[in-house]
Each structure stands twice: as C-alpha cells, then as structure tokens.
Amino acid sequence: MADIHIIEGASDSEIAAFIEAALAEALAVNQAPVAISVPGGSTPFPIMEELVKADLDWARVTVWPGDDRVVPEDHEASNTGKIRALFEPAGAQVATLTVMEQVPHFALVWLGMGADGHIASLFPNFDPKVDEDASIKRLTPDPLPPEAPFDRITLTMPALLDSDALMFVIRGDDKRAVFDAAVEGEHDLPVARVLGAAEQKVTCFT
C-alpha cells in the first residue's frame, strides 16, 4: 500500500499551490518536458483556474486528460475541450486521448473518484487491472451515467501508476467513506486497486 497523506479541508488555491510546487520541482530537474494528468468533472476546474495563474515554464508542460467522454472537443461534455481552453492560453500543450497515443511518464497524476469507486473512466464493470497491457482504452460504462451517457476513453491503471506521485481530491461524505474503505482494504473497487498497487506517495485533499 502506498504512503497516503490526507489533507483535510483544503481550499482550491491550496490544492493549486501543491500542484504548482510539484510541477516546479519536476521542471527544475532538467530541461526535459514534463507531463501531468488531470481529471474532468465539476470539482477540478476551479482548481485548474487557479493553477494556470502560476509562473511556470508552461511551454515545457504537457497536460493529459485522465479520461474523456467520446464526444467532439466543442461538446459541453468534453473534458479535453475545457482543459485545452484553460491550459493552452498559459502556454502548455494538451494531449488528445486516442488509443494510438504514446503515454509518457507523469510527474503527477491527479485523480478524482466517483461514489462507485471509479477513477478516471475505470468503472467497476470494466474490471480494470494493474497489469493491463494497453495504456489507453475505450469502454462503455455500465450503467451509463444519466448525466453523461457516452462511451469513454481513459488512461489505464499502468499508465496512471507510471508517475512520480498521485493525488486525489475527494469531496463529500459518501466519497470519503469509499476512499477510506479503499485505504483500509475493505473492498476491491478500482480506487482500492490503484492504491494497493501504488508505490509512490499519494496525497488526498478533502
């Protein structure tokens, strides 16, 4: 099990400052490009709005969506379109998830989690594995979330785990209970699988 550090009651600006520090550290190592992965959904975007104000060498940063709905980028349900609109004006590159993409090692992977224990678009019905061969997969959630009834494309567990650090933002009592149970090894939902396989530091903001 990973070394898990839980930070209670963090503000959006505090979480953005944590990500900024992680990026600054990675950028300082050498002149190589730095990759991070970020989630979609309603919680992350206010944090990202704070993050893009950071004085970083954004031209050396590539931002990867952890997953997306299989819709055009100008569709209101597209994570990639919203991420691109935030990060490209700052100077970063934003990757488009396709099954042919070569996924890099990440300085930081930021994950959200659903109340059903899914991470990225690795839903329980998909039975995601930590030894999956592919780095990116397309799948159909079952059941389809009524608010976003679309096929998904997602980084797989090996791709997410190929990172220097993992972070979560978990808000809401129902999600916190699922996350805490995963930490204790009380279920085998996707979040528990990634935590069980993680060897890097994991930071969870609530």
Confidence band, pLDDT 50/70/90 cuts, at residue 144: confident
Asked whether 142 and 116 are in contact (CB, 8 A), the reply is: no
For the domain made up of 4-205, the CATH class stated in words is alpha beta
The token pair at 61 is: 């940063």
Asked whether the beta carbons of 65 and 97 are under 8 A apart, the reply is yes
pLDDT at 42: 87
pLDDT, position 1: 63
- 41-74 pLDDT tens trace: 889 999 999 999 999 999 999 999 999 999 999 9
How far CA 2 is from CA of 27, 98, 117, 119, 167, in Å, comes to: 24, 29, 17, 16, 12
Instruction: Map residue 201 onto helix, strand or coil.
Output: strand
Residue spans of the domains in the chain: they are 4-205
Pairing state of beta strands 108-111 and 152-155?
unpaired
